[in-house]
Chains A and B, each alone.
Chain A
Amino acid sequence: MITFENVDVIYPNGFKGLDDVNVEIARGEFVAIIGLSGAGKSTLIRAVNGLVPYTGGTLTVGETVVDPKNKSKLRRLRSKVGMIFQQFNNVGRISVLNNVLIGRSAVTPTWRSLIGWYGAEDKEVAFQSLERVGIVDKAYNRASALSGGQQQRVAIARVLAQDPEVILADEPVASLDPPTARKVLGDLRRIQQDLGITCIVNMHHLDLARDYADRIIGMRAGRVVFDGPTEEATDTVIEDVYQRSLTAEDIATADFPVSLEDLPAEAVAGVVAGEPDRKP
């Protein structure tokens, strides 16, 4: 479904975001990408829908080769590739329904979008998407009036309204509290399985990745350093990905935030004595 062949991303400032990435993701797979900040997780995800243009190799989604230079081709590709963000990225001032209808942009004539008069079919799709994530009763509320978990569900509904073949999720639950994070991720997993959508998700929390993903890809410095089914992603393997031993924060979600007792003694002493946590 999605094929990376020797894909490089070099940012305009010379930073190498992806370095010779070779990955093949099958239709209907749920893949979690793990790695430290700056390892290239977001770059990998954003290369798929062209939000970050790749600079070398070949990237194929379905039958189409992603071409970052061809704007209209890119729009056609994006209409089938939905994306979910850490900060939800809903438009706060308009209704939940209108937010979901943004997902219909690619199939709605521009004049309809401009005057805000969507067709009955588009509305029907939007309502079905809202039903799927279970917040159809909030359809006419302002998006900004919703809680974090509900806002992320609106974002998922917006993506579902695209009738996507692929869903990209960039840290989808990092802004949510742990129980909500599990619920939202569980919803995403269920919908993905129901509709047979290929799903690539960036994660910070190992236990979430292990509980929900079919397959885990570990990244370090723009390279794929681990790629295998979830069972094979043992602590030793992950420690190799992170290049350090795992800490409580890496694994914990249910008992996050970490209490003072979980921290090493010297760190606690520093906090109590009021030492600055940053060097001037």
Chain B
Amino acid sequence: MTAVAERTSAEAGPARVTRPEPPTPPLVNYLGLVVVAVAAFAFFWWTRDDTSVLYLPLGVTTLWAPQWPLIGFLVMLAVLALCWFTRTGVMAAFGALTVVIFSYWAGSNIHFIDRIVEVPGRLTAGNTREQLIGYFNPDWSYLLFSNVAGTSRPIWGEWLITLCMAVVATIIGCFIGLLLAMLASPVSSFSKTSSQTVKAINSVVRSIPDVGWALLFAAFIGGTAYGLGALAAVLALMMFNIGIVAKLLGESIDAVDPGPLEAADAAGANLLQRDRVAVLPAVMPSFVSYSLYVFELNIRASAALGVVGVAGIGGELSRQIRRMSQGYENVGAILWALVIVVLLVDLLSMWVRRKLL
């Protein structure tokens, strides 16, 4: 018995207190939700494209039903029953039902369950098995002592290039992001129009993924892994960083305490002075924090960008993957090293963040 319970029972004695009951949601609304579930079941049955059925001999009759839609329907009913017995509000129950319906709809369209049951079989046989063995027996001597195929550049030098790409992209991208965030927030921007315009530009920049930018820049300026490849990667990462920093920092600026801004206004400061003396100090910790986060993202993203033929360790990774049945130990070594490097950068940025804030 807890101390609180002991205390109250000692004071209140045997007298029972009536406690309020949780309100019961109206039954008719829950019946409406059952109708929704039935409609979803009917739709899934109608649009099913597999032939697997559940065959249930019940003695007097045999029952058969399309397997997956029926299971989905039972899950929906179970969720509704659980919500009913826990007296969940109707809107929350509707939300839970919607999650079930959408996951069934989305999963069935890509045959998610059908494919995922095949995975264990693949893991233990054939090429997949060899790959896994290769990944778990990384060839460290390749990583430390070999050169990039056909050149005299060591593999570890590619790591340095990756790091340098990430540093350059982070520094340039975050500063441009800071400027765009200032222009995008109605708090610090010149006018409503300029804020809306810059926000629209930011959305466009953000809507193109980092690999998309890399493909674009590789096509513009030449995407060989030697020479110009690093530039394409840096530009791609830069756009990626601008999008992130402008978005996150713009929201930080929106939420800045309006008091000091008013004080700067009342002192006769112009807009630039106000942004510098009142807005910037308030969002500086967020800016540093986002920049470090973006640096981590850049290390990770540069591995993915290798697929489109840019420089750095990502390029080497995609070359080794393309060698198919020969490079698994090498791919494994790169992947493990990537995990270690990302962890190290993570720890470093955490340490810096703690020191700064």
| Interface residues, chain A, with chain B CB atoms under 8 Å away | 49, 51, 75-79, 81-83, 85, 87-94, 98, 101-103, 105-106, 108, 110, 113-114, 116, 155, 158-159, 162, 168
Contact = CB atoms under 8 A, between A and B. Distances in A.
Interface of B: 259-260, 262-270, 272-274, 276-278, 281-282, 284-285
Contact of B260 (A78, A91, A168): A91
Nearest to B283: A93
A87 B259 contact: yes
Contact of B270 (A75, A89, A103, A162): A75
Contacts of A102: 263-264, 267, 269, 277-278
- The main secondary structure of chain B at its interface with chain A is helix
A257 B180 CA distance: 48
A114 B272 contact: yes
Given A85-B259, A105-B277, A110-B272, A93 B282 contact: yes
A102 to B, nearest CB: 5
11 contacts: A90-B263, A102-B267, A102-B278, A105-B264, A105-B267, A106-B268, A110-B270, A114-B272, A158-B267, A162-B268, A168-B266
Contact of A79 (B259, B267, B278): B267
A74 to B, nearest CB: 8
Task: Return the 7 tightest CB-CB contacts between A and B, nearest first.
Answer: A106-B268, A105-B269, A79-B268, A83-B266, A89-B259, A78-B268, A89-B263
B270 A105 contact: yes
A78 B267 CA distance: 6
B69 to A, nearest CB: 46
B268 A89 contact: no
Contact of B262 (A89, A113, A116, A159): A89
Contacts of B260: 89-91
A162 B267 CA distance: 7
A88 B266 CA distance: 13
A64 B285 CA distance: 41
Contacts of A82: 266-267
B267 A93 contact: no
Contacts of B267: 78-79, 82-83, 102-103, 105-106, 158-159, 162
A101 B286 CA distance: 24
Nearest to B275: A114
Contacts of B274: 105
Contacts of A116: 276
B302 to A, nearest CB: 33
Which of A82, A92, A103, A113 has most B Cβ within 10 Å? A113
